[in-house]
Each structure stands twice: as C-alpha cells, then as structure tokens.
Structure 1
Amino acid sequence: MEYKPKISLVVNGDTFSYKLFEALKHVSKTYSQRKASKNLGISHAVLNRRIKEAEEKLGFKLVFSTGAGSELTDNGNKLLQKYEKYENRLKKRGKLIICGGYASSRLLETLISEYGLDAAVYKTGDKDAIYLASLDMVDILTLDDPVHAFINDLDFTPIAYDHLTLVSSSNIHIKNINNLNGKNFVEITDSEQRFAWNTLDDKKINYKLIEKVTSPYDALKFVKDNPNSYTFISSSLSDGSNIIKNETRHIISVVICNKEDERINDFLNYILTFNGQKIIEKCGFESLI
C-alpha cells in the first residue's frame, strides 16, 4: 500500500483543510479560478466558496480579480508558502539527511563518500541533532556520546570507539594526570567531555572550568589563543596527550530514524563490515572488530 499524508493548517484557532491550499496553489499557477477548479475536478462555485469561507475566518483577502483572471494577494501568498513549508517536510527525501555530533558526523561524512551514498551531513551537538530528529528532519542520527541515546530511549547501533585527548599549546609537558592539578580548562557543553570531568573528579584533580563553548572547534581556537588553558577533544578531531585514553573510551553510535529506506539499511551493513571498519580506523577511531 502507498501512503500519502495530507495536512491541515491551524491559523488563529481555525483549522483549514488541505483542499483550501490546493485551491490557492492552482490559482497561483493558472491565474484563473476556472482553470484551477477544472484542474482540481470541482466546480468553480465550490472553489470560490472554499476561498470565500476561508477569507471570512481569516479576516483578509486571499485572492483578488484582475482584468486577465485571478491572483493571490500578498497574504494569500504568505499563507500558501507557510503551508508548503510544512508540506515539504512530509515529502520523501531524495537526498538522505544525516545529522549529529561533531566527531561522529565527520566520520559519517567519510563513510558516505567511500560508500557512494547520496546524503547531506550536518554537524552540531548531540542534543540539537536529537531535537531535529524529533521533528522528522533527519534520516540518520549520529551520536558522539552514548548517554544521549539512553536518556532519550533511542534504539542505537554502535559503529566505532572513540576516546578523548588532552589538548593545549603546552600539553607536551603533561605526562601524568596529577600534573593537571590547578590547570584551567575549556568546557564544551553537552559533549562527551563528561568522561574527562568524571575521571578528573574521581582522581581528585583540582581543575577550573574558565570558559564554555558549544563546539570542539571553538575549544581548540580558545586554547590556541590562551596558552595556559586546556581542553579535551575527540582523538579523531585533534592530536594530543592520551593520558586518560582508557578512562574516556566510549561508543560512537548511529540511530536509524528512517527505517523504511532500504538505502540506509544497506549503508549500515556496510559500516559494520570489514571494509567499513577499516575506513573507521583511518579516520582516527577504533573499530569494533
């Protein structure tokens, strides 16, 4: 069976059927209410009544007559554009959308290139990516930190291991975790850095968070501009000291949001094969194999 959703739009408490917007769409294309009604397979009177009833509820005109036919008013165009924006979200996407954490989405970017998958990749924090996925705007969700999958009860698939490296313009001098006592750190909000902070807390390291940023790239820039500061970054994104590699080893995972597209299942199977895992290693991650 084939399913095609049709949506209504609620404006100021009144619900307007998709039939109104189909009428407006055809009027905007044909510049004629008679041609629009013919294309829709309804009478001119029915189409005119749909428009007039909507105008009465909305309190403004949607269509106006010209010497050559009919056109949408500015308000009519704005309303139709708003409807089409929501309508487009329901359409089957030709190009798959992948969105997730900075490290994991970067990995997926390489994997789709090697595999030949037609997809667009968007890098952001895990929380923002999960929000977009909840709006049905994502086909594959990637997560840097597995805790977000557990918190949101997501059905995730591990694809690699990652760990955090200590980064600073002077990190070559850090040989032991105890040397981090009294150091200043840059925090990346809602990131896998929690593994690092938990480790430092467990080791009773006295450290200070002096800056908060939203991406690892901002953190790298800050420590570059401030020589006496440190941060923890995914090993796939930056070289650094591996003094807490074992303590911060964690899963990189994906969540399949669009389970009906066969391309995604085939791609996931490829990621988990020997060839896919070798690419993962080349990207600076640890394979599952």
Structure 2
Amino acid sequence: MKIEPRVSLIVNGTHVTPRTLEALVAILQEGSQKRAAEMLDISVPVLHRYLKKLEKGVGTPIMKATPIGTELTEEGKQIVMEYMALKSKLKRSNRIVVGGTIITEDLLLWALTNLDRGGTIDLIISDDERNVQDFKAGLMDLVILDDPLYIYDLENVRWDEIGEDRLIHVDRGRHYLKFKYGAQRIGFKHLESKGITYEIKGVTRYLPALIQSPFSFFVNESLLAKKGLKIKSATPPNLLTHKIIVIYREDREEILRLVKELAKQKIRETRFTKKGKC
C-alpha cells in the first residue's frame, strides 16, 4: 500500500486544490502561461481556467501580464510560499539546513566546524534573494543575510545582530557593475542620499570580473580581506558600515547554539580583518 500526503489550502474560504497550487508554482518558475502549461502537460486554456477560477474564488488577482509573459502578484506569491512551506514540512528530513552567501561562507564553515562535529547540518551557499525565499518557504532553518535591509521584508521572524561589515566603494564613473553578493542596496542608497546619479550596467557573481571591469562597484571589505586584497575606497568605509543579521527558527536547540557560535566566530573574523589592514 502506498500512502502519500498531499497539500491543499483554504484561501479566503476557497479550497485550492493541489493541481491549482502546482499551476501557481509553474507560473512562478516559468514566468509564462505557455511554458507553465507545457511543464504541467496541460493546454494553456485549461491552465487559464484554473487560475481564473482561483482568482474568482479568493476575490483578488493572483497573476498579471508582463511584457515578456505572466507573473504572480504578491498575493499569488504568498499562496505559493505557504504551499511550499507546508509541502516542505511533509518532505523534509529531520536535518537542519542553514545558509549564507560567499560573503559569509567562511563564517558558517568556522562555526559549523566547532559546533557540528558529526556533520549533521546541511549548508547551502546561494544569494540573499534565494536564501530568503527558501527560508520563508520553510526550507531553511537559519540564514545569514548580506543585506540587512531584507529584514524589513520579513514578518514575525526571529533575528539577531552578530556583527558588522563595511563596503568598499570603487568609483570609475556613473556606470556601475552590481555584485550579486553583499549589502549592495546600502551602497546605492548612499549614492542616492548624496544626489549622485548612477546607472547599473549589469550584475556579476565573479569577484575578479567585478574588480577588472571598467565600471564602478561596491564590495564587502570582509570578502576582500579573505582574498588577501586591499582596495582603496572612494567613500570612507565607515559611512558604508552595516550590520550582519542572522534570521532563524527557534524550534531547535542546535540552532540557538549555532547563533551564539556565529557571533563568536564573527568577532574572530573581525579581528583578522582589522589585523590585515594594519
């Protein structure tokens, strides 16, 4: 006998079936009704009926047309996040999952080396946007944020400050290359506060490409220190200081211990960074 649980939701009194929820997930992933229909192996008219019936039932738009296809509204995304969270709780093992970016990877590795000697905690390295999305969906138990401004996008989440970092600003003119990691929004908000106009010409995940480009950029001082790089900042780094935030769930004692260990290791990392500047 094969028994398999399935997730459905009640939204504004309307029962949303697993099939309709999978249709929303497909729209979110594909950004196109045509590609979403192909993914689900149904016709576009059938998919459209699913979505329109849902909109009528919940009483609010859950999708919107864009110049390149279809995307979910904030209400649609909220439904998907809730669905993914419930689905993940059914599927997930008892293993703890934590995450960060290349900025905080070493910090996590140091903390896990001291705390997780059995190797039972899973580590995922991605970017803030994806990590926050997975955390909200219940797929992660702890995330270190590069960009503390994300905390304003989260509700009812436990978070702590575990340290601080600074941005280094390289000014090569009004054209900027945006680094995928780090507190980039803080750098650009600083420019805006000074009335400085800028244009973002692209995004890169690769540090050497960022440094060697002809464009201006912001990069975290801690990352440069770990790479043994010293770059003069056009803006005093003290003006681009920001907090390092960890968001987490409180339902596991191991997570609470990890938060304390991260704060301790951040102090060690900060001392190393300051020593490197001497």
TM range (shorter): 0.5 to 0.7
- The reply to whether residue 149 of structure 1 matches residue 147 of structure 2 is no
| Distance change in 2, residues 1:124/1:285 (3 Å) | farther
Q: Is there any run of 5+ residues in structure 1 with no aligned partner, and where?
A: 1-5, 14-84, 168-179
How many Å separate the matches in 2 of 1:256 and 1:100?
12
- What is the one-letter code of the residue matched to 1:137? L
How many Å separate the matches in 2 of 1:270 and 1:86?
27
Please say if residues 102 and 124 of structure 1, whose CA atoms lie closer than 8 Å, have aligned partners that are also in contact: yes
Bigger Rg, structure 1 or 2: 1
How many Å separate the matches in 1 of 2:98 and 2:243?
18
Please say if residues 181 and 206 of structure 1, whose CA atoms lie closer than 8 Å, have aligned partners that are also in contact: no
Matches within 5 A, 1:118-197: 118=119, 119-153=121-155, 154-167=157-170, 180=171, 182-188=173-179, 192-197=183-188
How many Å separate the matches in 2 of 1:86 and 1:115?
25
Q: Match of 1:244?
A: 236
| Distance change in 2, residues 1:204/1:283 (3 Å) | same
- What is the one-letter code of the residue matched to 1:284? T
Q: Summarize deviations over 1:81-104 as a string: whole Å, max 9, x none.
A: xxxx967634311xx311134323
| Distance change in 2, residues 1:92/1:120 (3 Å) | closer
Q: Is there any run of 5+ residues in structure 2 with no aligned partner, and where?
A: 8-16, 21-86
How many Å separate the matches in 1 of 2:104 and 2:274?
10
Displacement after TM superposition at 1:265 (Å):
1.4
How many Å separate the matches in 1 of 2:135 and 2:173?
40
How many Å separate the matches in 1 of 2:89 and 2:181?
32
Name the count of aligned residue pairs: 188
Q: Match of 2:269?
A: 280
- What is the one-letter code of the residue matched to 1:166? H
Q: Summarize deviations over 1:118-162 as a string: whole Å, max 9, x none.
A: 323222221210111122211211111111112212321110100
How many Å separate the matches in 1 of 2:244 and 2:102?
11
Q: Match of 1:205?
A: 196
Pick from 199, 214, 221: which aligns with 2:209?
221
Q: Summarize deviations over 1:61-112 as a string: whole Å, max 9, x none.
A: xxxxxxxxxxxxxxxxxxxxxxxx967634311xx31113432344222222
Displacement after TM superposition at 1:221 (Å):
1.4
Pick from 262, 265, 270: which aligns with 1:271?
262
How many Å separate the matches in 2 of 1:131 and 1:108?
19
Q: Match of 1:234?
A: 220
- What is the one-letter code of the residue matched to 1:266? R
Aligned residue for 1:247, secondary structure, equals helix
- What's the TM-score, normalizing by structure 2? 0.57
How many Å separate the matches in 2 of 1:253 and 1:165?
19
| Distance change in 2, residues 1:150/1:190 (3 Å) | farther
- What is the one-letter code of the residue matched to 1:7? P
Pick from 86, 91, 94: which aligns with 2:93?
91
Cα RMSD, aligned residues only: 3.1
Aligned residue for 1:163, secondary structure, equals strand
Please say if residues 164 and 244 of structure 2, whose CA atoms lie closer than 8 Å, have aligned partners that are also in contact: yes
Displacement after TM superposition at 1:250 (Å):
0.5
Aligned residue for 1:221, secondary structure, equals helix
How many Å separate the matches in 1 of 2:185 and 2:127?
14
| Distance change in 2, residues 1:236/1:272 (3 Å) | closer
Please say if residues 187 and 193 of structure 1, whose CA atoms lie closer than 8 Å, have aligned partners that are also in contact: yes
Displacement after TM superposition at 1:166 (Å):
2.8
How many Å separate the matches in 2 of 1:120 and 1:212?
28
- What is the one-letter code of the residue matched to 1:109? L
How many Å separate the matches in 2 of 1:278 and 1:125?
23
How many Å separate the matches in 1 of 2:132 and 2:97?
13
